Amino acid sequence: MTLPVVLVSHQPPDPIRDAFRGVLAGAADVVFLPELSDASRNDVLRTARAVMTYHPIRDLGVNALRKLENCGLMQCLTAGIDYLPFGDLPDHIAVAYNAGAYAEPMAEHVAAMALSASKRLAGEHRLMRQGEFNQFVPTKRIAGMTCGILGYGETGREVARIMRALGMNIQAINRSGKTDEQVDFIGTLDDVDHVLAASDVVVITLALTSATERLLEAAQLKEMKPDAILINVARGEIVDEDDLYAHLIAHPDFTACLEAWWVEPIRHGRFETAHPFLDLPNVIASPHNSAMTDGALITAAERGAENVLRFLNGETPRFIAGDDVRMA
**Closest CB to a second copy among residues 61, 144:** 144
CA distance 283 to 109: 15
Minimum CB distance to a second copy, residue 297 (Å): 9
Minimum CB distance to a second copy, residue 101 (Å): 14
CA distance 66 to 88: 10
CA contacts within 13 A on the Cβ side of 35: 9
3-state secondary structure labels for all residues of 208-270 = CCCCCCCCECHHHHHHCCCCCEEEECCCHHHECHHHHHHHHHHCCCCEEEECCCCECHHHHCC
**Closest CB to a second copy among residues 70, 139:** 139
**Closest CB to a second copy among residues 85, 167:** 167
**Closest CB to a second copy among residues 249, 278:** 278
**Closest CB to a second copy among residues 38, 294:** 294
CA distances from 120 to 20, 123, 274, 284, 309 (A): 42, 5, 25, 10, 46
Contact set with a second copy (CB under 8 A): 104-105, 108-109, 111-113, 115-116, 118-119, 121-122, 124-125, 127-129, 132-143, 162, 165-166, 264-266, 271, 278-279, 284-290, 292-296
Minimum CB distance to a second copy, residue 112 (Å): 4
**Closest CB to a second copy among residues 22, 144:** 144
Minimum CB distance to a second copy, residue 221 (Å): 22
What number of residues does the chain have? 328
Minimum CB distance to a second copy, residue 139 (Å): 6
**Closest CB to a second copy among residues 152, 277:** 277
Decide if 316 contacts 53 (C-beta within 8 A).
no
CA distances from 18 to 21, 32, 210, 299, 304 (A): 5, 12, 37, 11, 13
Tell the burial category of 243 from Cβ atoms under 10 Å away from its Cβ (0-12, 13-18, 19+).
Answer: middle
CA distance 229 to 238: 16
Identify which of 205, 202, 135 has the alpha carbon closest to the alpha carbon of residue 174: 205
Minimum CB distance to a second copy, residue 241 (Å): 16
Minimum CB distance to a second copy, residue 181 (Å): 17
